[in-house]
Structure 1
Amino acid sequence: MWRLHLHQHPRIPLDDIKGTHRTAEQIHQQATQDVYQYCRKHGLVQVWAYLWNRWYTPKQWILWARASCDAIPRTKTTMMVESTWAQMKRRDLHQFNRPRLDLLTHVVLVNLLPRVRRKMEYIQKKRRKGRPHPLAKWQETLKRDWQEMSKPDEWRLMSKELVCRKKGVSGQLKPHEKEERLTNIEAEKVRPKGSYHTNIDNMTCSCPSFTLSRWLLCKHLVRQVNEKTGNAPLNNLPFFRALRRNHYPPFYIIPGVHMAMPAEAGACPIDFEGPGDIQETRAQERQVSPVTSRFDHGNKSEPEDSEDRGFERSSPFCSEDEGENSERVSSDLISLISLICQN
């Protein structure tokens, strides 16, 4: 339930007959009501007091709920920062308990910054020039998930059943766990297929998998894209290397769906500048809508030239500061880091 509240957004349709789009205020009210009814049903008075004061009050809601922002973010920056510090503590400071500030500064300058510099050079493709660059880790995962969602439902269920039976024979699954998984697979086989509002133009779908997806994708969208492009993305590495998720609909710009296919067979354009009408539509959508103005505290305006940058080219798992065309990832910054490391 909490996970669903986290991922709901006004731009994602609901799974109902009309494919309704709730406003940000309606999403907040419904989420609060769901939590309240659950706590009241189970007599969790203290849990409700904690959830309301720390999570669902309007001041706290805007800090974590995706519906409080007009755009759909690509990353969870808090997790990225925590991951950086966790790696630093386990890799460089594992022998020190509560290190002194001078030691911490030395570790950052000598150990951490050189790794950051190498990563920046790799993102800017300044390392190993002339050699083909492999897919990033998140691109490999996206490619694997795309291929998995492209398979027919019967194929996917058969694969799940085989994996479950193999783990049961090898002892990786306990007997009751194996029976439970096989029962769920059999129930999924006879479950009637749902009817969802799939919009390939905006790359949105009303199915629950789309709302909770890491990539904002589901099998319905993937299969429609494959059908319209003749299964071109399945074994096309340039397609996944150039694929980027946008903050606003359409969340993906697919060659052959939202723009003309490139003239060269098998090629995939790297520059995803949309046509003029899409640019104008997106410029209008970047304005904070009235339904989300209730949660808009402070000045969130962007520079005047932000609307002319087209669709974002940074990766779905990198912030805008780490993109290929980022203004902050520059040669001057890398030179500064190199100078600090040398000194």
Structure 2
Amino acid sequence: MRAFVAEKTDDGVTRAVREDFELDSDGDVVVDVEFSSVNYKDGLATIAKGQVARISPLVPGIDLAGVTSDGAAVLAHGYDLGVSRHGGYAEQARVPSEWLVPLPDGLSARQAMAIGTAGYTAARCVMALEAAGVTPDGGPVLVTGASGGVGSTAVDILAARGYEVVASSGKDPAWLRELGASDVISREEAAGDASRPMEKSRWAGAVDCVGGATLAGVVRSLKYGGAVAACGNTGGIKLEATVLPFILRDVSLLGVDSVQTPIEARRETWARLATDLRPPHLDEAITREIGLDGLEEALSAVLRGELQGRTVVKL
């Protein structure tokens, strides 16, 4: 089959489309892949220092949507796809049946991958904030890394649910305002003054896709009883913070994982992504559609932080 393959060599990692790659034998369901997407983690899986790939050669692609041999429309993402098991950048994938999510009514395979792991993560963040008591009338909600796949989808979903959304990004503010952001601030403003243990109360809640100094700044600026759903680390894995916001403002730091979510919760989340959590600008979120031949450039771009919105891969 045709597949995009990353393989370790003595000099690093080679990335190329192969015309006759063999489907592996591990997994009880074969999926004819129709669409996948480009994620930051996919880029990391194709570089020597990425610390993502667990096998070599590897077909990256942490999400996929397609049709099984019995005609069922399905999607899959997370778990070990594109990490220690071949993923979505191939014409076929062999997937354990317990990882599969039925494609919800109202979503095409292309739309599901426009949502993909990124949009799924955004939905889980919104669900976590709402479960923590963050409501539209509580004040503005900040989304950091807002031009990326997770952030832009979070802006779209939150705005549609009536929240006042402030986006933090170093990229085009007009696009984020079209998605529903009421204001766009710089990364530096979101990070604030690291020398202060707490800052002025600003945010009722936040979705943080960056980590590092940005997440620390968000925690320092949460309102009393506020919460931040943390799901990314492109800005670093260290969190320089004090306990003061937690014990003086009763704030919450909510970790959000999209890789090992139990399958029932995963299927429930996807059902909501097709209904009440459906991003209103779903189709507009696709800024590019590429084939396997476009992956080399797209993966390099996502690692440089140059992609905006969602890039879907048509198989």
**Interval containing the TM-score (normalised by the shorter chain):** under 0.3
Structure number with larger C-alpha Rg: 1
Higher relative contact order (CA 8 A, sep 6+): 1
Q: Normalising by the residue count of structure 1, what TM-score does the alignment of the two structures yield?
A: 0.21
Please, what TM-score do these two structures have when normalized by structure 2?
0.22
Of Structure 1 and Structure 2, which has the larger fraction of its residues in strand?
A: 2
**When you count helix as a share of all residues, which structure comes out higher?**
1
